[in-house]
């Protein structure tokens, strides 16, 4: 039996990690500026995280949600404190796609409606409902398109208001920062206008913070640049620093009935221990502040590099748009400079999602490596960003 490869594979196998680095079998170090799709939030093999997970699995790794599990409430209390969303209710699951599935379902339960409004360049997951609201027809099977979806340009508030005025929208779903699409940021004014329009028309506002949450933007959630309280917030990726965990935060105006939301693995003992450890480290090491400071440091210096057209994003969720295809640049960075970076649907964009505890020394290593790689092609003509890049 052959294994199905999810992505095209680099000829490289990391066998261990420490902090912002991973190492191959030969012992070569690679600076990790991608964090395994934004998952590694507090660095590889953080000692507090390792200790918490080891101690929990030695006690009890799993039992179902039919018994008391105080770790779930501990996680909820710490999350409420750090995020400022302490009046929300936490439902735990195992992945970002699952979180978004439950967010969509809860919005439909609450409104009795089906239609969704989402945005160009969006990515919300590959499961049935989540992929239907993802802006990539190539990964949708016929069975996935089972409810009506309207795709609109990001930051076009008038378009959202017109669609909501029809009165048949269950929810507007927007990423705190669009990740896979190429690091596009909704403006605070846009988010505030959408929130007001949703409230006026009875639609739900769902913030997909699967990639942009948990301090990635320099705020706990990226939407917190705006003065809004979303109805539902979805989370995953950085929540567990590699252990599969996801969840949704539910505004107190919603009270899901027993049976509407459910899970076998979500909120299990080991997942909660990992999630608690992540929050402990974010708080103890002031990682929100570090993400803001390092993001500002990188943003200014990246924009000055040869061949860089634009830098988008907030904190340590940055998209560096080049004047050329990013693929060869990423490959050269990896194999010549030992630096992992990420791709995006926008083909000239390098996506940067390093651990939140990265240092200025590591930022400088990236900047020097990228400058060296880009220098030979700095004279290449610049091209404008396409207006409708697809995932």
- Model confidence pTM above 0.85: yes
Q: Give, for 89, the enclosing helix (H) or strand (E).
A: strand 89-93
Considering the domain architecture, whether residues 85 and 35 belong to the same structural domain is answered as: no
Q: Whose CA is closest to 190, among 165, 221, 166, 225?
A: 225
Q: Identify the pLDDT of residue 8.
A: 79
C-beta separation of 323 from 13 below 8 A: no
**Which residues have CB under 8 Å from 193's CB, separation 6+?**
157, 160, 161
Q: pLDDT tens for residues 317-335?
A: 999 999 999 999 999 999 9
- Compute the distance between CA of residue 235 and CA of residue 266 in angstroms, rounded to an integer: 13
Classify residue 20: in a domain, yes or no: no
Classify residue 13: in a domain, yes or no: no
**Torsion of the alpha carbons at 143, 146, 150 and 154, rounded to the nearest 10:** -60
**SS3 category, 353:** coil
Q: pLDDT tens for residues 158-211?
A: 999 999 999 999 999 999 999 999 999 999 999 999 999 999 999 999 999 999
- Compute the distance between CA of residue 109 and CA of residue 259 in angstroms, rounded to an integer: 12
- Compute the distance between CA of residue 290 and CA of residue 272 in angstroms, rounded to an integer: 25
Considering the domain architecture, whether residues 200 and 217 belong to the same structural domain is answered as: yes
Longest C-alpha distance within the chain, in Å? 64
Considering the domain architecture, whether residues 168 and 278 belong to the same structural domain is answered as: yes
Residue 362: CATH number of its domain = 3.90.1150.10
Domain of 134, in residue numbers: 47-284
Tell me what the mean pLDDT of segment 263-278 comes to: 97
Q: Whose CA is closest to 270, among 45, 80, 59, 93?
A: 59
Tell me what the mean pLDDT of segment 40-69 comes to: 96
Question: Domain ends where: 284, 314, 338?
Answer: 284
Residue 178: CATH number of its domain = 3.40.640.10
Considering the domain architecture, whether residues 189 and 213 belong to the same structural domain is answered as: yes
Residue 390, pLDDT above cutoff 70: no
Classify residue 387: in a domain, yes or no: no
Considering the domain architecture, whether residues 299 and 227 belong to the same structural domain is answered as: no
Considering the domain architecture, whether residues 259 and 354 belong to the same structural domain is answered as: no
Considering the domain architecture, whether residues 290 and 251 belong to the same structural domain is answered as: no
Considering the domain architecture, whether residues 109 and 168 belong to the same structural domain is answered as: yes
Q: To the nearest whole percent, how much of the chain has pLDDT over 70?
A: 96
User: How does the average pLDDT of the chain come out, rounded?
Assistant: 94
C-beta separation of 351 from 34 below 8 A: yes
- Compute the distance between CA of residue 232 and CA of residue 205 in angstroms, rounded to an integer: 7
Question: Domain ends where: 284, 311, 331?
Answer: 284
Considering the domain architecture, whether residues 129 and 197 belong to the same structural domain is answered as: yes
Considering the domain architecture, whether residues 216 and 320 belong to the same structural domain is answered as: no
Q: How confident is the model at residue 378 (pLDDT cuts 50, 70, 90)?
A: low
Classify residue 67: in a domain, yes or no: yes
Classify residue 180: in a domain, yes or no: yes
Q: How confident is the model at residue 389 (pLDDT cuts 50, 70, 90)?
A: very low
């Amino acid at each position: 039996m052959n294994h199905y490869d999810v992505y095209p594979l680099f000829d490289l196998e990391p066998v261990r990690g420490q902090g912002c680095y991973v190492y191959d079998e030969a012992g070569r170090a690679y600076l990790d500026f991608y964090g395994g799709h934004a998952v590694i939030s507090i660095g590889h093999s953080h000692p507090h995280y390792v200790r918490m997970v080891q101690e929990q699995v030695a006690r009890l790794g799993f039992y179902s949600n039919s018994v008391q599990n105080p770790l779930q409430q501990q996680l909820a209390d710490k999350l409420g404190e750090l995020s400022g969303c302490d009046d929300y209710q936490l439902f735990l699951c195992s992945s970002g796609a699952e979180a978004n599935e439950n967010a969509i379902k809860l919005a439909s339960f609450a409104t009795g409606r089906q239609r969704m409004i989402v945005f160009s360049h969006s990515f919300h997951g590959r499961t049935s409902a989540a992929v239907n609201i993802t802006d990539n027809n190539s990964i949708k099977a016929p069975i996935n398109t089972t409810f009506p979806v309207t795709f609109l340009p990001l930051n076009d508030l008038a378009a959202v208001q017109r669609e909501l005025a029809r009165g048949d929208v269950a929810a507007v779903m927007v990423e705190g920062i669009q990740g896979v699409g190429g690091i596009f940021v909704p403006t605070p004014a846009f988010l505030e206008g959408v929130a007001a329009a949703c409230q006026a028309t009875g639609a739900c506002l769902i913030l997909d913070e699967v990639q942009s949450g948990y301090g990635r933007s320099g705020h706990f959630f990226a939407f917190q640049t705006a003065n809004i309280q979303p109805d539902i917030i979805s989370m995953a990726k950085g929540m567990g620093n590699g252990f599969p965990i996801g969840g949704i935060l539910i505004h107190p105006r919603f009270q899901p009935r027993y049976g509407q939301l459910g899970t076998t693995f979500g909120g299990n003992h080991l997942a909660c221990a990992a999630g608690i450890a992540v929050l402990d480290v974010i708080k103890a090491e002031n990682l929100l502040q570090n993400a803001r400071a390092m993001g500002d440091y990188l943003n200014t210096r990246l924009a000055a590099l040869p061949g860089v057209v634009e830098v988008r994003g907030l904190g340590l969720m940055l998209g560096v748009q080049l004047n050329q295809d990013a693929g060869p640049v990423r490959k050269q960075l990896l194999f010549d400079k030992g630096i992992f970076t990420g791709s995006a649907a926008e083909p000239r964009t390098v996506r940067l999602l390093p651990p939140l505890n990265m240092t200025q020394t590591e930022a400088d290593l990236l900047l020097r490596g990228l400058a060296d790689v880009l220098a030979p092609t700095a004279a290449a003509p610049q091209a404008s960003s396409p207006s409708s890049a697809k995932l």
